[in-house]
Amino acid sequence: MEEADDDTSIGDDNGRLSGGAVAMAKTQAIGLDIGAKSLRAAEVSSAGGGRVELVRYAEEPVPAGAVRDGEVVDQPAVAQALKQLWSKGGFGSKEVILGIGNQRVTVRTMQLPKMPMADIRSSLPFQVEDSLPIPVDEAVLDFYPTVELAGPSGTVYEGLVVAAARETVMSNVNAAEAAGLKPLSVDLSAFALLRVMARGELGHGTVALVDIGARITTIVVATDGAPRFVRTLPVGTQGLADILARAKTVSQAEAEHQVITRGLQASSAPENQISADQYNDTARNLVEGIRNSIGFYASNNRQAPVSYVVLTGGGSTVPGLGQAIASETRTQTLLGNPLEGVTLGKRINGLEGLKGREATMAMSMGLGMGVAA
């Protein structure tokens, strides 16, 4: 990617993402998740054998509308919130790994001839120029190999090509830099989700990892810890609250409280009758989007059916949503916990200090577990 300033460049000269690489030797990094409602940063120490320690963690709200669909649109507001986040968290460094994942990021399966990764990345603009929805000179590209196969002309890598709109990437990079932070790399949010959740028992077999945010839902299907399918939906649970508030029978704050506490049944409250149909349709669209995504994977990979759907993200705890997803996908659905098997550092205020935040911590922790390849 092009250099952000004289001292910082993201990826390499070809503009690649960090590609989801996992640290083998002990590393310590800070993952920064920029969400529609909150900023989250996790300082993580990773070592071989799957050992992970959460060293520091903090959250900070962002003003409404400052981040839209995973992209910073109000740089001064986000930069100020980032400064407050760093002050609150007491992080040991200003170097961060940023996540990116929205409708302006394309992920596609592709086979490429086996060669050194540096050569693959340098050839990507020529390999993918006819298969992307955006011009390659406006994209940040990377390739994540998942399996090695024997092809008719020699050995090939099958994997995922990631193409992110450069404008989207740089809007988040620029906001971080305006807050005095130094982005070391940009990683696909889906890879961060995979990294933190596909561990232990979930690192075996085929699982669908679903992170339901305020405005964006990220879906990753992985087999034995390797990504096979990635999709980002431009919907989340904030849309439910917006519908209730738009009817002007309850305030925005009360609408959000009802979604959190009453979930899919909030539309049955007398004060919400005017918006009940639209509320139910929005909830159905979210559930069906998840079902159809997993169904699309299943129809093309009958040899590796999904055994579990694992939910994370702020929307994963909305009452009734998990049951609806389980019913629609006909698959056992679990609430994921990114803290499972993770050691808490001395600066973390015990499990009680994180209680209730587990669902929203996955992305930032996964980013903190990654290193540039």
> Is residue 134 in a domain?
no
Query: Do 271 and 368 fall into the same domain?
Result: no
Query: Do 194 and 262 fall into the same domain?
Result: no
Average pLDDT over residues 346-350: 77
Q: Work out the pLDDT band at 3, boundaries 50, 70, 90.
A: very low
Looking at residue 2, its pLDDT comes to 30
Strand order in the sheet with 95-100: 182-188, 95-100, 27-34, 38-46, 52-61, 343-344
Rounded distance between C-alpha atoms, residue 172 and residue 178, angstroms? 10
Looking at residue 356, its pLDDT comes to 80
Identify the CA nearest to 236 among candidates 254, 206, 213.
Answer: 213
Looking at residue 47, its pLDDT comes to 78
DSSP state of 336: -
Average pLDDT over residues 48-68: 91
Q: Work out the pLDDT band at 350, boundaries 50, 70, 90.
A: low
Q: Work out the pLDDT band at 372, boundaries 50, 70, 90.
A: very low
Query: Do 64 and 174 fall into the same domain?
Result: yes
Query: Do 181 and 234 fall into the same domain?
Result: no
User: Would the pLDDT of 4 be above 50?
Assistant: no
User: Would the pLDDT of 5 be above 50?
Assistant: no
Query: Do 192 and 205 fall into the same domain?
Result: no
The b/e string for 199-221 (b: 16+ C-beta within 10 A; e otherwise) is beebeeebbbbbbbbbbbbbbbb
Query: Do 313 and 353 fall into the same domain?
Result: no
Q: Work out the pLDDT band at 231, boundaries 50, 70, 90.
A: very high
For the chain, give the percent of residues with pLDDT over 90: 77
Looking at residue 50, its pLDDT comes to 76
Query: Do 234 and 345 fall into the same domain?
Result: no
Average pLDDT over residues 160-188: 95
Looking at residue 13, its pLDDT comes to 33
> Is residue 127 in a domain?
no
Strand-pair partners of 76: none
Exposed, middle or buried, 120 (CB in 10 Å: 0-12/13-18/19+)?
A: buried
Strand order in the sheet with 139-151: 105-113, 154-165, 139-151
Looking at residue 69, its pLDDT comes to 86
> Is residue 215 in a domain?
yes
Identify the CA nearest to 146 among candidates 228, 212, 239, 77.
Answer: 228
Identify the CA nearest to 219 among candidates 53, 358, 331.
Answer: 331
Query: Do 55 and 179 fall into the same domain?
Result: yes
pLDDT tens for 107-124 read: 999 999 999 999 999 999
Q: For the whole model, what pTM was predicted?
A: 0.90
| Structural domains of the chain, count | 2
Query: Do 325 and 214 fall into the same domain?
Result: yes
Q: Amino acid identity, residue 339?
A: L
Q: Are 176 and 257 in contact (CB under 8 A)?
A: no
Identify the domain containing residue 252 by its residue range. Answer: 201-337
pLDDT tens for 325-342 read: 999 999 999 999 999 999
Query: Do 280 and 317 fall into the same domain?
Result: yes
Query: Do 332 and 353 fall into the same domain?
Result: no
Q: Are 209 and 195 in contact (CB under 8 A)?
A: no
Average pLDDT over residues 171-175: 97
Residue 302 maps to which CATH number? 3.30.420.40
